Structure 1
Amino acid sequence: MAAPPEPVAVLPALRTLLGGLRRGHAVSVDASGVLPLALLAGATAAGAWSAMVGFSEFGVLAAADLGADLGRVVVVEDPGSQWSEVVAVLLTSVELVLVRPPAPVGGQLARRLVALARRNGAALVCAGDWEGAQTRLHVASSLWVGPDGGAGHLRGRRVRVEASGRGAGARPRSAWLWLPGPDGTVSGADLEAIESAPAELDVAG
Protein backbone atom coordinates (compact mmCIF):
# COMPACT_ATOMS: atom_id res chain seq x y z
CA MET A 1 0.00 0.00 0.00
CA ALA A 2 1.35 3.40 -0.96
CA ALA A 3 2.23 5.77 1.87
CA PRO A 4 -0.09 8.78 2.24
CA PRO A 5 1.29 11.95 0.68
CA GLU A 6 3.13 14.40 2.87
CA PRO A 7 0.81 17.06 4.28
CA VAL A 8 1.10 20.68 3.25
CA ALA A 9 3.45 22.35 5.73
CA VAL A 10 2.31 24.71 8.48
CA LEU A 11 4.31 27.15 10.58
CA PRO A 12 6.26 25.50 13.44
CA ALA A 13 4.01 27.13 16.06
CA LEU A 14 0.96 25.41 14.57
CA ARG A 15 2.37 21.89 14.34
CA THR A 16 1.11 20.83 17.79
CA LEU A 17 -2.41 21.61 16.56
CA LEU A 18 -2.25 20.26 13.02
CA GLY A 19 1.02 18.55 12.21
CA GLY A 20 0.26 19.72 8.69
CA LEU A 21 -2.64 20.31 6.31
CA ARG A 22 -3.76 16.91 5.08
CA ARG A 23 -4.27 16.71 1.35
CA GLY A 24 -7.82 15.92 0.32
CA HIS A 25 -9.21 17.31 3.58
CA ALA A 26 -11.10 20.49 4.43
CA VAL A 27 -10.16 22.68 7.40
CA SER A 28 -12.63 25.23 8.76
CA VAL A 29 -11.09 28.29 10.43
CA ASP A 30 -12.56 31.36 12.09
CA ALA A 31 -13.36 33.85 9.36
CA SER A 32 -12.18 36.85 11.39
CA GLY A 33 -8.56 37.37 12.39
CA VAL A 34 -5.36 36.24 10.72
CA LEU A 35 -5.34 32.52 11.57
CA PRO A 36 -6.29 31.42 8.02
CA LEU A 37 -3.57 33.67 6.63
CA ALA A 38 -1.03 32.09 8.99
CA LEU A 39 -1.83 28.72 7.37
CA LEU A 40 -1.13 30.23 3.96
CA ALA A 41 2.15 31.68 5.25
CA GLY A 42 3.37 28.30 6.45
CA ALA A 43 2.51 26.56 3.20
CA THR A 44 4.13 29.08 0.87
CA ALA A 45 7.20 29.53 3.08
CA ALA A 46 7.78 25.79 2.61
CA GLY A 47 7.47 26.14 -1.17
CA ALA A 48 3.84 25.15 -1.78
CA TRP A 49 1.92 26.86 -4.57
CA SER A 50 -1.30 28.23 -3.10
CA ALA A 51 -4.35 30.33 -3.89
CA MET A 52 -6.52 32.88 -2.08
CA VAL A 53 -10.13 33.24 -3.18
CA GLY A 54 -12.48 35.91 -1.87
CA PHE A 55 -10.01 37.90 0.23
CA SER A 56 -9.57 41.65 -0.05
CA GLU A 57 -6.29 43.40 -0.80
CA PHE A 58 -5.92 43.93 2.95
CA GLY A 59 -6.01 40.17 3.50
CA VAL A 60 -3.29 39.64 0.91
CA LEU A 61 -1.05 42.24 2.55
CA ALA A 62 -1.69 40.74 6.00
CA ALA A 63 -0.63 37.34 4.67
CA ALA A 64 2.62 38.85 3.42
CA ASP A 65 3.22 40.42 6.85
CA LEU A 66 2.94 36.96 8.42
CA GLY A 67 5.61 35.60 6.08
CA ALA A 68 3.62 34.34 3.08
CA ASP A 69 5.56 34.19 -0.18
CA LEU A 70 3.11 36.01 -2.46
CA GLY A 71 5.18 34.93 -5.45
CA ARG A 72 3.66 31.49 -4.87
CA VAL A 73 0.07 32.68 -4.44
CA VAL A 74 -2.67 32.99 -7.04
CA VAL A 75 -5.09 35.71 -5.85
CA VAL A 76 -8.73 35.88 -6.97
CA GLU A 77 -9.98 38.78 -4.90
CA ASP A 78 -13.59 38.86 -6.08
CA PRO A 79 -14.78 35.72 -7.90
CA GLY A 80 -18.42 36.86 -7.75
CA SER A 81 -21.11 34.26 -8.27
CA GLN A 82 -18.59 31.90 -9.89
CA TRP A 83 -16.53 31.39 -6.73
CA SER A 84 -17.15 27.61 -6.52
CA GLU A 85 -16.09 27.13 -10.15
CA VAL A 86 -12.95 29.18 -9.49
CA VAL A 87 -12.14 27.07 -6.42
CA ALA A 88 -12.69 23.87 -8.39
CA VAL A 89 -10.20 24.94 -11.08
CA LEU A 90 -7.60 25.99 -8.50
CA LEU A 91 -7.86 22.67 -6.67
CA THR A 92 -6.52 21.00 -9.81
CA SER A 93 -3.56 23.42 -10.01
CA VAL A 94 -2.14 24.27 -6.56
CA GLU A 95 -1.42 22.49 -3.28
CA LEU A 96 -3.46 24.73 -0.98
CA VAL A 97 -6.62 26.72 -1.65
CA LEU A 98 -7.69 29.24 0.98
CA VAL A 99 -11.24 30.41 0.37
CA ARG A 100 -13.60 32.90 1.99
CA PRO A 101 -16.99 31.95 0.51
CA PRO A 102 -19.92 34.39 0.35
CA ALA A 103 -22.04 32.02 2.49
CA PRO A 104 -21.52 28.84 4.56
CA VAL A 105 -20.68 25.88 2.32
CA GLY A 106 -22.59 22.67 2.90
CA GLY A 107 -24.12 19.61 1.36
CA GLN A 108 -23.34 18.44 -2.13
CA LEU A 109 -21.06 21.36 -3.03
CA ALA A 110 -18.83 20.83 0.01
CA ARG A 111 -18.50 17.11 -0.76
CA ARG A 112 -17.79 17.76 -4.44
CA LEU A 113 -14.98 20.21 -3.74
CA VAL A 114 -13.39 18.00 -1.07
CA ALA A 115 -13.50 15.05 -3.49
CA LEU A 116 -11.76 17.21 -6.08
CA ALA A 117 -9.11 18.19 -3.54
CA ARG A 118 -8.57 14.51 -2.69
CA ARG A 119 -8.25 13.55 -6.33
CA ASN A 120 -5.62 16.21 -6.96
CA GLY A 121 -3.70 16.06 -3.67
CA ALA A 122 -4.68 19.56 -2.54
CA ALA A 123 -5.59 20.91 0.89
CA LEU A 124 -8.62 23.15 1.33
CA VAL A 125 -8.93 25.81 4.05
CA CYS A 126 -12.19 27.69 4.50
CA ALA A 127 -12.36 30.96 6.43
CA GLY A 128 -15.87 30.33 7.75
CA ASP A 129 -18.21 27.36 8.08
CA TRP A 130 -17.73 24.25 5.94
CA GLU A 131 -20.05 21.30 6.39
CA GLY A 132 -18.14 18.09 7.03
CA ALA A 133 -14.78 19.76 7.66
CA GLN A 134 -12.34 17.17 9.02
CA THR A 135 -10.65 19.78 11.24
CA ARG A 136 -11.88 22.99 12.82
CA LEU A 137 -9.67 25.72 14.26
CA HIS A 138 -11.18 28.29 16.62
CA VAL A 139 -9.68 31.25 18.50
CA ALA A 140 -11.14 30.71 21.97
CA SER A 141 -9.61 33.79 23.62
CA SER A 142 -7.45 36.71 22.63
CA LEU A 143 -5.09 38.99 24.54
CA TRP A 144 -3.86 42.20 22.95
CA VAL A 145 -0.58 43.35 24.47
CA GLY A 146 0.53 46.97 24.71
CA PRO A 147 2.30 49.42 26.99
CA ASP A 148 0.65 51.28 29.86
CA GLY A 149 -1.81 48.61 30.93
CA GLY A 150 -2.83 47.74 27.39
CA ALA A 151 -3.30 51.34 26.23
CA GLY A 152 -1.35 53.05 23.45
CA HIS A 153 0.23 51.18 20.55
CA LEU A 154 -0.68 47.48 20.60
CA ARG A 155 2.46 45.37 20.24
CA GLY A 156 1.04 41.93 19.59
CA ARG A 157 -1.80 39.51 20.07
CA ARG A 158 -1.70 36.31 22.10
CA VAL A 159 -4.45 33.83 21.30
CA ARG A 160 -5.55 30.41 22.49
CA VAL A 161 -6.38 28.33 19.44
CA GLU A 162 -8.50 25.19 19.83
CA ALA A 163 -8.51 22.38 17.28
CA SER A 164 -11.13 19.67 16.96
CA GLY A 165 -12.24 17.34 14.21
CA ARG A 166 -13.37 13.95 13.06
CA GLY A 167 -11.61 10.61 12.73
CA ALA A 168 -7.88 10.84 13.44
CA GLY A 169 -8.27 14.54 14.25
CA ALA A 170 -11.07 14.09 16.79
CA ARG A 171 -8.99 14.58 19.95
CA PRO A 172 -9.43 18.23 21.07
CA ARG A 173 -6.19 20.14 21.56
CA SER A 174 -5.21 23.76 22.11
CA ALA A 175 -2.18 26.03 22.08
CA TRP A 176 -1.33 29.59 23.02
CA LEU A 177 0.24 31.51 20.14
CA TRP A 178 1.52 34.93 19.24
CA LEU A 179 -0.73 35.80 16.27
CA PRO A 180 1.05 38.02 15.47
CA GLY A 181 3.84 38.73 17.93
CA PRO A 182 5.59 42.07 18.50
CA ASP A 183 7.90 41.28 15.57
CA GLY A 184 4.97 40.42 13.28
CA THR A 185 5.63 36.68 13.23
CA VAL A 186 3.65 33.69 14.51
CA SER A 187 5.20 31.78 17.40
CA GLY A 188 4.34 29.91 20.58
CA ALA A 189 3.34 31.96 23.65
CA ASP A 190 4.14 31.08 27.23
CA LEU A 191 0.91 30.38 29.15
CA GLU A 192 2.18 31.41 32.59
CA ALA A 193 3.36 34.75 31.24
CA ILE A 194 -0.01 35.32 29.62
CA GLU A 195 -1.96 34.66 32.80
CA SER A 196 0.25 36.89 34.96
CA ALA A 197 0.98 39.78 32.59
CA PRO A 198 -0.81 42.99 33.74
CA ALA A 199 -0.56 44.89 30.46
CA GLU A 200 -3.04 42.89 28.42
CA LEU A 201 -6.61 43.24 27.20
CA ASP A 202 -8.64 40.04 27.22
CA VAL A 203 -11.00 39.82 24.24
CA ALA A 204 -12.85 36.60 23.45
CA GLY A 205 -12.93 35.39 19.85
Structure 2
Amino acid sequence: MTVRGRDQAEAALARAGFAVQPVELVAVLPALRTLLGGLRRGHVVAVDGMGALPLALLAGATAAGAWTAVVGLSEFGVLAAAGLGADLGRVVVVEEPGAQWAEVVAVLLTSVEVVLVRPPVQVGGQLSRRLVALARRHGTALVCVGDWEGAQTRLRVASSLWVGPEHGRGHLRGRRVKVEAYGRGAGARPRSAWLWLPGPDGTVSGADLEALETADRASAAGPAGPAGLEVAG
Protein backbone atom coordinates (compact mmCIF):
# COMPACT_ATOMS: atom_id res chain seq x y z
CA MET A 1 0.00 0.00 0.00
CA THR A 2 1.33 3.46 -0.80
CA VAL A 3 1.88 5.99 1.98
CA ARG A 4 -0.98 8.11 0.69
CA GLY A 5 -3.23 5.05 0.44
CA ARG A 6 -2.38 4.02 3.99
CA ASP A 7 -3.21 7.49 5.30
CA GLN A 8 -6.54 7.49 3.47
CA ALA A 9 -7.37 4.05 4.88
CA GLU A 10 -6.56 5.18 8.41
CA ALA A 11 -8.70 8.29 7.99
CA ALA A 12 -11.63 6.17 6.79
CA LEU A 13 -11.29 3.82 9.78
CA ALA A 14 -11.10 6.77 12.16
CA ARG A 15 -14.34 8.22 10.74
CA ALA A 16 -15.98 4.84 11.19
CA GLY A 17 -14.98 4.78 14.86
CA PHE A 18 -12.24 2.17 14.66
CA ALA A 19 -8.98 2.74 16.53
CA VAL A 20 -5.97 2.58 14.24
CA GLN A 21 -2.88 0.98 15.74
CA PRO A 22 0.10 3.30 15.18
CA VAL A 23 2.73 1.78 12.91
CA GLU A 24 6.44 2.48 13.18
CA LEU A 25 6.23 5.53 15.38
CA VAL A 26 9.04 7.22 17.26
CA ALA A 27 7.78 7.99 20.77
CA VAL A 28 6.75 11.46 21.90
CA LEU A 29 6.19 12.74 25.42
CA PRO A 30 2.87 11.55 26.94
CA ALA A 31 1.41 15.07 26.90
CA LEU A 32 1.88 15.25 23.11
CA ARG A 33 0.27 11.92 22.23
CA THR A 34 -3.21 13.34 21.72
CA LEU A 35 -1.71 15.58 19.03
CA LEU A 36 0.64 13.17 17.29
CA GLY A 37 0.50 9.67 18.70
CA GLY A 38 4.15 9.61 17.75
CA LEU A 39 6.57 10.75 15.05
CA ARG A 40 5.88 8.61 12.01
CA ARG A 41 9.05 7.31 10.43
CA GLY A 42 9.57 8.62 6.91
CA HIS A 43 7.23 11.57 7.46
CA VAL A 44 7.89 15.29 7.88
CA VAL A 45 6.57 17.35 10.79
CA ALA A 46 6.80 21.13 10.28
CA VAL A 47 6.84 23.26 13.45
CA ASP A 48 5.99 26.92 12.98
CA GLY A 49 8.93 28.29 14.96
CA MET A 50 11.83 27.59 17.27
CA GLY A 51 11.09 27.32 20.96
CA ALA A 52 10.18 24.64 23.45
CA LEU A 53 7.90 22.67 21.11
CA PRO A 54 10.57 21.19 18.78
CA LEU A 55 12.76 20.56 21.84
CA ALA A 56 9.87 18.64 23.42
CA LEU A 57 9.64 16.43 20.32
CA LEU A 58 13.35 15.74 20.62
CA ALA A 59 13.03 15.04 24.34
CA GLY A 60 10.34 12.41 23.87
CA ALA A 61 12.32 10.59 21.21
CA THR A 62 15.60 10.46 23.14
CA ALA A 63 13.88 9.55 26.40
CA ALA A 64 12.52 6.48 24.58
CA GLY A 65 16.01 5.54 23.40
CA ALA A 66 16.06 7.04 19.90
CA TRP A 67 19.17 8.61 18.42
CA THR A 68 18.54 12.13 17.12
CA ALA A 69 20.32 14.99 15.38
CA VAL A 70 19.92 18.77 15.33
CA VAL A 71 21.06 20.71 12.25
CA GLY A 72 21.22 24.45 11.72
CA LEU A 73 19.93 25.62 15.11
CA SER A 74 22.77 27.71 16.49
CA GLU A 75 20.61 28.71 19.48
CA PHE A 76 19.76 25.09 20.35
CA GLY A 77 19.15 25.16 24.09
CA VAL A 78 21.05 22.26 25.61
CA LEU A 79 19.91 23.00 29.16
CA ALA A 80 16.34 23.65 28.02
CA ALA A 81 16.23 20.35 26.14
CA ALA A 82 17.63 18.49 29.14
CA GLY A 83 15.05 20.17 31.37
CA LEU A 84 12.26 18.89 29.14
CA GLY A 85 13.59 15.34 29.52
CA ALA A 86 16.00 14.95 26.58
CA ASP A 87 18.85 12.44 26.87
CA LEU A 88 21.66 14.62 25.52
CA GLY A 89 23.87 11.57 25.09
CA ARG A 90 21.61 10.62 22.17
CA VAL A 91 21.74 14.00 20.40
CA VAL A 92 24.18 14.93 17.62
CA VAL A 93 24.35 18.70 17.10
CA VAL A 94 25.60 20.37 13.90
CA GLU A 95 25.13 24.07 14.63
CA GLU A 96 26.53 25.64 11.45
CA PRO A 97 26.37 23.29 8.45
CA GLY A 98 26.82 26.23 6.07
CA ALA A 99 26.14 25.77 2.38
CA GLN A 100 26.30 21.98 2.80
CA TRP A 101 23.32 21.75 5.14
CA ALA A 102 21.35 19.53 2.73
CA GLU A 103 24.27 17.09 2.44
CA VAL A 104 24.63 17.04 6.24
CA VAL A 105 20.91 16.32 6.66
CA ALA A 106 21.08 13.58 4.03
CA VAL A 107 23.91 11.82 5.88
CA LEU A 108 22.11 12.05 9.22
CA LEU A 109 18.85 10.73 7.76
CA THR A 110 20.69 7.47 7.10
CA SER A 111 22.11 7.28 10.62
CA VAL A 112 19.62 8.42 13.29
CA GLU A 113 15.90 8.08 13.98
CA VAL A 114 14.90 11.75 14.24
CA VAL A 115 16.48 14.75 12.50
CA LEU A 116 15.50 18.23 13.69
CA VAL A 117 16.50 20.82 11.10
CA ARG A 118 16.05 24.49 10.35
CA PRO A 119 16.86 24.98 6.66
CA PRO A 120 18.36 28.31 5.56
CA VAL A 121 15.77 28.44 2.75
CA GLN A 122 12.34 26.97 2.18
CA VAL A 123 12.65 23.37 1.04
CA GLY A 124 10.63 22.20 -1.93
CA GLY A 125 10.83 20.53 -5.30
CA GLN A 126 13.55 18.03 -6.09
CA LEU A 127 15.51 18.60 -2.87
CA SER A 128 12.46 17.98 -0.71
CA ARG A 129 11.63 14.78 -2.59
CA ARG A 130 15.22 13.53 -2.30
CA LEU A 131 15.44 14.10 1.46
CA VAL A 132 11.98 12.65 2.15
CA ALA A 133 12.86 9.59 0.06
CA LEU A 134 15.95 9.08 2.24
CA ALA A 135 13.85 9.47 5.38
CA ARG A 136 11.38 6.84 4.16
CA ARG A 137 14.09 4.44 3.07
CA HIS A 138 15.87 4.57 6.42
CA GLY A 139 12.82 4.97 8.68
CA THR A 140 13.74 8.41 9.98
CA ALA A 141 11.33 11.08 11.21
CA LEU A 142 12.17 14.57 9.93
CA VAL A 143 11.16 17.59 12.02
CA CYS A 144 11.53 20.97 10.33
CA VAL A 145 11.50 24.31 12.16
CA GLY A 146 9.68 26.46 9.63
CA ASP A 147 7.84 25.52 6.46
CA TRP A 148 8.46 22.35 4.44
CA GLU A 149 6.59 21.80 1.21
CA GLY A 150 4.46 18.65 1.47
CA ALA A 151 4.87 18.13 5.23
CA GLN A 152 2.38 15.49 6.40
CA THR A 153 1.89 17.16 9.81
CA ARG A 154 2.15 20.76 10.94
CA LEU A 155 2.30 22.02 14.51
CA ARG A 156 1.86 25.57 15.74
CA VAL A 157 1.52 27.35 19.05
CA ALA A 158 -1.81 29.17 18.73
CA SER A 159 -1.80 30.78 22.17
CA SER A 160 0.87 31.31 24.82
CA LEU A 161 0.86 32.74 28.34
CA TRP A 162 3.53 32.78 31.02
CA VAL A 163 2.07 32.50 34.52
CA GLY A 164 3.45 33.09 37.98
CA PRO A 165 4.24 36.71 38.89
CA GLU A 166 1.74 38.51 41.07
CA HIS A 167 1.47 42.30 41.26
CA GLY A 168 4.36 42.63 38.82
CA ARG A 169 6.94 40.84 40.96
CA GLY A 170 7.94 37.21 41.39
CA HIS A 171 9.12 34.19 39.45
CA LEU A 172 7.59 32.81 36.28
CA ARG A 173 6.26 29.35 37.13
CA GLY A 174 5.38 28.02 33.72
CA ARG A 175 4.14 28.67 30.22
CA ARG A 176 0.67 27.53 29.22
CA VAL A 177 0.24 27.06 25.47
CA LYS A 178 -2.39 25.84 23.06
CA VAL A 179 -0.76 23.65 20.41
CA GLU A 180 -2.61 22.87 17.20
CA ALA A 181 -1.83 19.99 14.84
CA TYR A 182 -3.13 19.58 11.32
CA GLY A 183 -1.95 18.03 8.10
CA ARG A 184 -2.76 15.58 5.31
CA GLY A 185 -4.33 12.14 5.04
CA ALA A 186 -4.95 10.59 8.46
CA GLY A 187 -3.58 13.77 10.03
CA ALA A 188 -5.96 16.10 8.20
CA ARG A 189 -8.41 16.45 11.10
CA PRO A 190 -7.25 19.44 13.20
CA ARG A 191 -6.40 18.62 16.80
CA SER A 192 -5.40 20.84 19.71
CA ALA A 193 -4.22 20.50 23.28
CA TRP A 194 -3.41 22.82 26.15
CA LEU A 195 0.05 22.11 27.55
CA TRP A 196 2.50 23.31 30.15
CA LEU A 197 5.56 24.00 27.99
CA PRO A 198 7.35 24.06 30.37
CA GLY A 199 5.41 23.57 33.58
CA PRO A 200 6.28 24.63 37.14
CA ASP A 201 8.62 21.64 37.45
CA GLY A 202 10.25 22.31 34.07
CA THR A 203 8.59 19.39 32.29
CA VAL A 204 5.83 19.09 29.68
CA SER A 205 2.37 18.12 30.88
CA GLY A 206 -1.31 18.72 30.19
CA ALA A 207 -2.67 22.18 31.05
CA ASP A 208 -6.40 21.75 30.60
CA LEU A 209 -8.76 23.06 33.26
CA GLU A 210 -8.37 19.99 35.48
CA ALA A 211 -4.57 20.22 35.29
CA LEU A 212 -4.69 23.94 36.10
CA GLU A 213 -6.84 23.30 39.18
CA THR A 214 -4.32 20.67 40.34
CA ALA A 215 -1.43 23.08 39.80
CA ASP A 216 -3.24 25.83 41.71
CA ARG A 217 -3.80 23.51 44.69
CA ALA A 218 -0.12 22.52 44.65
CA SER A 219 0.91 26.17 44.50
CA ALA A 220 -1.29 27.04 47.47
CA ALA A 221 0.23 24.18 49.48
CA GLY A 222 3.86 25.23 49.08
CA PRO A 223 6.56 26.93 47.04
CA ALA A 224 5.76 27.43 43.38
CA GLY A 225 8.72 25.45 42.09
CA PRO A 226 12.19 26.29 40.88
CA ALA A 227 13.08 29.92 40.48
CA GLY A 228 13.40 30.61 36.81
CA LEU A 229 13.01 34.05 35.30
CA GLU A 230 12.36 36.85 37.72
CA VAL A 231 10.03 39.64 36.72
CA ALA A 232 10.34 42.86 38.65
CA GLY A 233 7.90 45.74 38.54
Q: Same fold (TM over 0.5)?
A: yes
Are the equivalent residues in 2 in contact too, given 1:92–1:116 (CA < 8 A)? yes
Deviations 1:10-35, CA, capped at 9 Å, x for gaps: 00000000000000000000223210
Q: Offset at 1:58? A: 4.3
Q: Which residue of 2 aligns with 1:112?
A: 130
List gaps (5 residues or longer) in structure 1.
198-205
Secondary structure (helix, strand or coil) at the match of 1:67 reads coil
Q: 2:192 aligns with which of 149, 171, 174?
A: 174
Q: 2:47–2:155: 8 Å Cα contact kept in structure 1?
A: yes
Measured in 1, the distance between the counterparts of 2:186 and 2:85 equals 29
Q: What letter is aligned with 1:110? A: S
In structure 2, the gaps of 5 or more residues are 2-20, 217-233
Contact kept? 1:53, 1:87, Cα under 8 Å: yes
Q: 1:39 — aligned with what?
A: 57
Cα deviation code 1:80-116 (max 9, x no counterpart): 1111100000000000000011122122211211111
Distance 1:59 1:105, change over 3 A: farther
1:141-200: CA deviations, max 9, x gaps? 001101205643211100000000000100001000000001110000023749xx9xxx
Task: Indicate whether 1:100 and 2:118 are aligned.
Answer: yes
What residue number does 2:87 align with?
A: 69
Aligned pairs, number? 194
Which residue of structure 1 aligns with residue 229 of structure 2?
Answer: none
Measured in 2, the distance between the counterparts of 1:113 and 1:159 equals 31
**Contact persistence 1:144–1:150 (CA under 8 A):** no
Tell me the distance in 1 between the aligned counterparts of 2:29 and 2:92.
Answer: 20
Q: Is the 8 A contact 2:22 2:37 kept in 1?
A: no
Matching of residue 52 in structure 1 with residue 70 in structure 2 = yes
State which structure, 1 or 2, has the greater radius of gyration over its C-alpha atoms: 2
Query: 1:146·1:153 contact (CA, 8 Å) conserved in 2?
Result: yes
TM-score between both structures, scaled by the size of structure 2: 0.78
Secondary structure of the residue aligned to 1:28 is strand
Question: In 1, Cα distance between the equivalents of 2:140 and 2:194?
Answer: 28
Which residue of structure 2 aligns with residue 203 of structure 1?
A: none
Q: Paired residue for 2:153, among 135, 138, 157?
A: 135
User: Aligned Cα RMSD in Å?
Assistant: 1.9
Tell me the CA shift for residue 66 of structure 1: 1.0
In structure 1, what is the Cα distance between the partners aligned to 2:56 and 2:92?
A: 16
Secondary structure of 2:129's aligned partner: helix
1:19 equivalent in structure 2: 37
1:6 Cα deviation after fit: 2.1
Structure 1 ranges of 4+ moved more than 6 A: none
Q: CA-to-partner distance for each residue in 1:113-155, whole Å, 9 max, x for gaps?
A: 1111000000000011111000000000001101205643211
CA distance 1:7–1:150, shift in 2 (3 Å): farther
1:82 corresponds to which residue?
Answer: 100
Residue type of the partner of 1:84? A
Structure 2 distance, partners of 1:94, 1:32, is: 21
Secondary structure at 1:97's aligned position in 2? Answer: strand
Where do 1:179-198 residues align within 5 Å? 179-191=197-209, 193=212
Q: Is the 8 A contact 1:31 1:100 kept in 2?
A: no
